[in-house]
Amino acid sequence: MKIAVISDSGCGMSEKEAQERGIFILPLQLIINDISYRDGVDIQADDLYAKLKEGALPKTSMPVMSDIDTLFHQLKEEGYDQAIAIPLSTGLSSTTQSLNIAAEMEGLPLTCIEVSSTCCIEKYVTIQVKKLVDAGKTVEEIKAIILPKIAASGTLIYPNDLNHLKRGGRLTPVAASLATLLKIKPILKIDPSTEGRIDVEAKVRTEKKAERYMVENIALRLMKDRSYQVFIIDSDCRAKALRMKDELEQLIVGQDVAITNDNIYAVISSHTGLDCIAIQYIETIEA
């Protein structure tokens, strides 16, 4: 059984890395001043940060439908029997729906795994799914391994400015209402409990309290008898992210937790804006 593994650029995987891993990546679209860029191909995170500093107000869109159609035709031509896709959360994008339509038209069985997240969780799950495929696991076996890990995963987000997310329609109504309140510093979340949409986790009044809440809350979620992958990601505020990494490491001494720093990838940064930080975690997937 030949199984293709597909994701989108919300996972932040470069073209080079995807090719090396044998994973197919569909670029999401960034639209800035009526010019469309393919995320991760025509524009990278640092490029977007520069444009945001210049006052750009980017919009995003799902991958170009012709790119999706071309990919599924290619997979069929290359002899794939079925595909597994790990796209951006359905709460943030309609990519899953478009993938299902293209797969049905091409006659290629497709299983979409709902990660209820984006960025590093999406990337980590994609890589582990590919490893499981290479190990000869069936789609049902892979789902049985992956889905419980996703169900217990989570992301906390602390944006400096909620208006980017509000303008893009990615917030729940409750979260959006906080965008106009002064002196409120909302900590947001995205996980299976929010159906992959961005909702309010907590409300604090200072950045220092927000950082402390995130670090302490994540530390409490990491069960001592389990292994985890934790990702502290930022949009152009790495010093803050490194400080939070140090603080979290002090709280989980002796636990089996791998902590990685990374960027908030371009298409996601277009919604979070600059000076945003997030902590993502997922239980380690053995593959």
Write down all domains in the chain, each with its CATH number in brackets. Answer: 3-150 (3.40.50.10170)
pLDDT exceeds 60 at position 180: no
Q: Which of 76, 74, 96 is nearest to 87 (CA)?
A: 96
pLDDT exceeds 80 at position 182: no
Residues 78-127 have pLDDT tens digits of 999 999 999 999 988 899 999 999 999 999 999 999 999 999 999 999 99
pLDDT at 105: 96
Global pTM reads 0.93
pLDDT at 186: 86
pLDDT exceeds 60 at position 179: no
| CA 286 remoteness from chain centre | 20
| Mean of per-residue pLDDT scores for the chain | 92
